[in-house]
Structure 1
């Protein structure tokens, strides 16, 4: 960049209301305003350094826990213009800490998709994107798309669209470079615009769900003075892309022209897409025939569902413990006994399977309604229509630590991947990892999750000259 103005450097990283984005002249379409992020990092760091270089002049300021330690000016420096920031996390505040490198890497990748040609270097590895959101789809699709992904861009907007063979809808949305993981007004308009444009292109009154099933798409828009629904900026609330211009109409009009033009120019893609829509329609109608009966069965069973030992508080409740709600999926009634006895009845539910569930890989969603186990499970989770009414924040697969338990775990993961991938994308699916060994004496007990961990525990107790009974853990 150009580097923070030298006279403003110290204030920019330590004082509130010192951002250079007020008035919208220098930064018309951006995310932050006050620079709260860098100031918070400064306050929470034992060491913090900010250095700015501009046209041969440089200034370096250092802080400790938000208090200025030094301020140095230099002239005649042979460096490129730009800003350098370094910090060391304050252990007095955070204690022992570690960086979530996977999360950091994903953030860097997102920035490359939105800034073509810009190279990021992180831990010795370079990240760069040449095709923007097209690269994002390519790196996140787990299967070959049915057709070459559609990539459209214009002033203040870029979209990429593809279809796979799975279920559900998957979207990646951005506003002014900020990843909005919970979507917002721009993503809602995008979903509406896709269905509207495709229906008008084929002159068919297709159901929007048939058009969007199996879709994986991304949208990036640039909005003047965006309004988010929280400080975390993960959901957009703005209704205008700029003063007087509707965000919804802007996105709908863009796709109405450019997506329609693309489908006219690429007839093969249009044919494949229509075939997919017709297949989705046929499957939906086939499911509707047994859906009513399955719902009635689930409703009757739910009144006295012996498989489900429910909790009192759910994710959809307005309760401070709602985020702690979880359901354990166990092998049979006997296996669920210990969990049921020790659970917190306020927030922890238990669902008992009967034997091994069906391997649903490659099957259609019709099997969810035909199979009693799957039908009752989706009813217990309340995810038949969408994820908005998911009853538990965590869905925990709690199977035994043996071959059969591992098989059941994989079958359940296949079920969610095949029919309800948003449970996984939303970070709701967990696996209960139970210990394999217990090494103990009268004073202490160690639970070990591998042979290596067990051997280390045994060796440590031998050095301490203690007896150490070793027991293979059960459930």
Structure 2
């Protein structure tokens, strides 16, 4: 029995100092994993970006060291750290050791009017979450140094005169493994983050330095002179449907009547393409991974204005449904970079904003700009309309096809919906029912006579089944034998690709069988058909393999007949062992006949009767290796297949059907 814990007045406690972050990093950084650690890095970078946006410094240097420590250096004014008479404390204590302390709360302060860091949390929180942090600041003719260990200052503020003219702040720290579960931030994060920041901060140079294993440093530079317009050109390439448009404006408004008025800057660059699609939103330099207000505005404005154009110019067919945003999005490259003096983020990670006025202002602004653009560029408006309608009608046709296919794959089996040559069993007890998938019509006859009709059903593979590893889903589901087998299984299919997700309807409880048994000849052709059927099940219903519903019926390789009895050998080794026991006896040895040539009694004995048959259960063990082998032997890697055969082919010569 668990020990009872008291819950009284002394049970309530409060986290103090660094523990506010160290014990609950997810509250500030979104998680205590690698994502949270990466966000703590961005908090430091964002302070340097704010300085540059305020007009101080045109370069930021980020260095990643081999020991996973990080250094960020800017060339701004340098963080104020000396004594603050108003607060009666040192500024370094406020900035580095107090949450909700900073210089960006006054939205009328032009220095940080459009700031990334609003809450006074990031710098202090990152310091609290560090194993150590070293800070060097140059300002007012002095060099200031601070050292922290696990959120606690060691040694106070060190101050000395300096002759350096260049001001700025350099911060070097190691994220703490006592706080984060992982601190090895991948190289891609730094490259992607700095590239994005270069995009939305025109003419601000980001230098990324990475320490290699030998102690040397590799460097990458990120600079976009024309900001998001250059970025759109980079994404879309030269073969676009329309020219790149770059629209900007400034607005003032409020989110609610009783809320203060604030300023907004909107900057949108876009083009249309039938080859590339991309939407990215930024606010106050922060990438809005989940969008929020700007994304809602783009969706509303573009659908509304393009729909208006289509209706006014009679582009819709009679009774045709209105377009959806996905029809526009499929051919749209759009980058939005907005700024505001008041920002409502969903949370501290700043991945979405919720400002009502930004949504309203951006919607109105985009509608107006699109209306003018269509009037002034009629040829481009025609191209956009034509492409959007192609996207729309293709989507509608695909949806119709997918719905019909989904209905086809999950349709019920009844008298009016029978599958050709499928022979059902009588039992409705799912714990007994077995489905034999056999090789061809001739095998169907033998298996049909040898089976126990009470619980064993049979379907033949009519012709060569499609290689499902190489084919796309559209081709797979045009193959009748595949759709028939899927329909018989009753559990639907598992499809993971975005384009075909609508037909993914797998539900294990719909499975109509306790065993799915693959039954083919014990020769090269039989092995190939077996492999193709397994490939189909692995591609479309992997859970059936994972849960142990799929079996292979072993067919004997040899028949050894004496006067007294007939022996069946399933392997070369078994043949040798049987022959050894028949020393001195007369016998005949022959390779086993194909399934279609076997007598019903022999089929029942070797393949169908649960008491005497041999079944191999196909398991998920080694599934990755199996998938790799399937890919080598049946996939698109022709050179890989040639290399495999060249290296290992000799080991299988005796199995090859070569005369």
Closer/same/farther in 2, CA of residues 85 and 146 from structure 1, 3 Å limit:
same
Cα distance, 1:218 vs structure 2: 1.7
Q: Tell me, in whole angstroms, the C-alpha distance in 2 between the residues paired with 1:291 and 1:86.
A: 55
Q: Tell me, yes or no, if structure 1 residue 160 matches structure 2 residue 269.
A: yes
Conserved? CA contact 1:291–1:369, under 8 Å: no
Cα distance, 1:196 vs structure 2: 1.6
Closer/same/farther in 2, CA of residues 297 and 89 from structure 1, 3 Å limit:
same
TM-score, normalised by the number of residues in structure 2: 0.46
Cα distance, 1:159 vs structure 2: 1.3
Conserved? CA contact 1:6–1:54, under 8 Å: no
- Superposed, 1:277-292 pairs within 5 Å as 277-287=388-398, 289-292=400-403
1:83 to 169, 191, 194: 169
Cα distance, 1:377 vs structure 2: 5.2
**Counterpart in 2 of 1:150?**
245
Closer/same/farther in 2, CA of residues 181 and 377 from structure 1, 3 Å limit:
farther
**Counterpart in 1 of 2:348?**
231
For the residue of structure 2 that corresponds to 1:2, the secondary structure is coil
Q: Tell me, yes or no, if structure 1 residue 182 matches structure 2 residue 290.
A: yes
- Please list every run of 5 or more consecutive structure 1 residues that lacks an aligned counterpart in the other structure: 240-245, 303-332, 334-352, 412-450, 452-475
**Counterpart in 2 of 1:355?**
467
**Counterpart in 2 of 1:254?**
365
1:119 to 205, 223, 234: 205
Q: Tell me, in whole angstroms, the C-alpha distance in 1 between the residues paired with 2:197 and 2:293.
A: 21
**Counterpart in 2 of 1:415?**
none
Cα distance, 1:5 vs structure 2: 1.9
- Superposed, 1:131-146 pairs within 5 Å as 131-141=226-236, 144-146=239-241
Conserved? CA contact 2:95–2:102, under 8 Å: yes
Q: CA RMSD in A?
A: 4.1
TM-score, normalised by the number of residues in structure 1: 0.62
Q: Tell me, in whole angstroms, the C-alpha distance in 1 between the residues paired with 2:96 and 2:634.
A: 53
Q: Tell me, in whole angstroms, the C-alpha distance in 1 between the residues paired with 2:412 and 2:349.
A: 41
Q: Tell me, in whole angstroms, the C-alpha distance in 1 between the residues paired with 2:125 and 2:470.
A: 51
Which string of whole-angstrom CA distances, capped at 9 and with x for unpartnered residues, describes residues 72-117 of structure 1?
Answer: 1233532323222111334555588423110111110111111100
Closer/same/farther in 2, CA of residues 296 and 258 from structure 1, 3 Å limit:
same
Closer/same/farther in 2, CA of residues 90 and 287 from structure 1, 3 Å limit:
closer
Which string of whole-angstrom CA distances, capped at 9 and with x for unpartnered residues, describes residues 410-435 of structure 1?
Answer: 79xxxxxxxxxxxxxxxxxxxxxxxx
Conserved? CA contact 1:13–1:35, under 8 Å: no
1:21 to 104, 107, 110: 104
**Counterpart in 1 of 2:159?**
73
1:405 to 628, 631, 656: 631
Conserved? CA contact 1:10–1:61, under 8 Å: no
Closer/same/farther in 2, CA of residues 96 and 198 from structure 1, 3 Å limit:
closer
For the residue of structure 2 that corresponds to 1:74, the secondary structure is strand
For the residue of structure 1 that corresponds to 2:146, the secondary structure is strand
Q: Tell me, yes or no, if structure 1 residue 271 matches structure 2 residue 373.
A: no
**Counterpart in 2 of 1:198?**
306
1:6 to 65, 76, 81: 81
For the residue of structure 2 that corresponds to 1:300, the secondary structure is coil
Closer/same/farther in 2, CA of residues 92 and 24 from structure 1, 3 Å limit:
same
Which string of whole-angstrom CA distances, capped at 9 and with x for unpartnered residues, describes residues 13-69 of structure 1?
Answer: 221221112232323333433332222221232331223333423322221222212
- Superposed, 1:97-116 pairs within 5 Å as 97-116=183-202
**Counterpart in 2 of 1:211?**
328
**Counterpart in 1 of 2:127?**
42
Q: Tell me, in whole angstroms, the C-alpha distance in 2 between the residues paired with 1:406 and 1:270.
A: 48
Conserved? CA contact 2:301–2:367, under 8 Å: yes
For the residue of structure 2 that corresponds to 1:88, the secondary structure is strand
Q: Tell me, in whole angstroms, the C-alpha distance in 2 between the residues paired with 1:404 and 1:61.
A: 59
Conserved? CA contact 1:195–1:212, under 8 Å: no
Cα distance, 1:250 vs structure 2: 0.6
Conserved? CA contact 1:184–1:235, under 8 Å: yes
Q: Tell me, in whole angstroms, the C-alpha distance in 2 between the residues paired with 1:28 and 1:42.
A: 25
Conserved? CA contact 1:137–1:160, under 8 Å: yes
Closer/same/farther in 2, CA of residues 299 and 398 from structure 1, 3 Å limit:
farther
Closer/same/farther in 2, CA of residues 355 and 3 from structure 1, 3 Å limit:
same
Closer/same/farther in 2, CA of residues 253 and 80 from structure 1, 3 Å limit:
same
Closer/same/farther in 2, CA of residues 172 and 380 from structure 1, 3 Å limit:
closer
Q: Tell me, in whole angstroms, the C-alpha distance in 1 between the residues paired with 2:406 and 2:238.
A: 32
Answer with 138-147 or 45-54: which moved more.
Answer: 138-147
Q: Tell me, in whole angstroms, the C-alpha distance in 1 between the residues paired with 2:186 and 2:145.
A: 29
- Superposed, 1:449-468 pairs within 5 Å as none
Cα distance, 1:228 vs structure 2: 2.1
Q: Aligned residues, how many?
A: 347
Conserved? CA contact 2:495–2:501, under 8 Å: no
Closer/same/farther in 2, CA of residues 98 and 211 from structure 1, 3 Å limit:
closer
Cα distance, 1:259 vs structure 2: 2.7
Which string of whole-angstrom CA distances, capped at 9 and with x for unpartnered residues, describes residues 232-269 of structure 1?
Answer: 22122222xxxxxx222211221122233233333442
Cα distance, 1:297 vs structure 2: 2.4
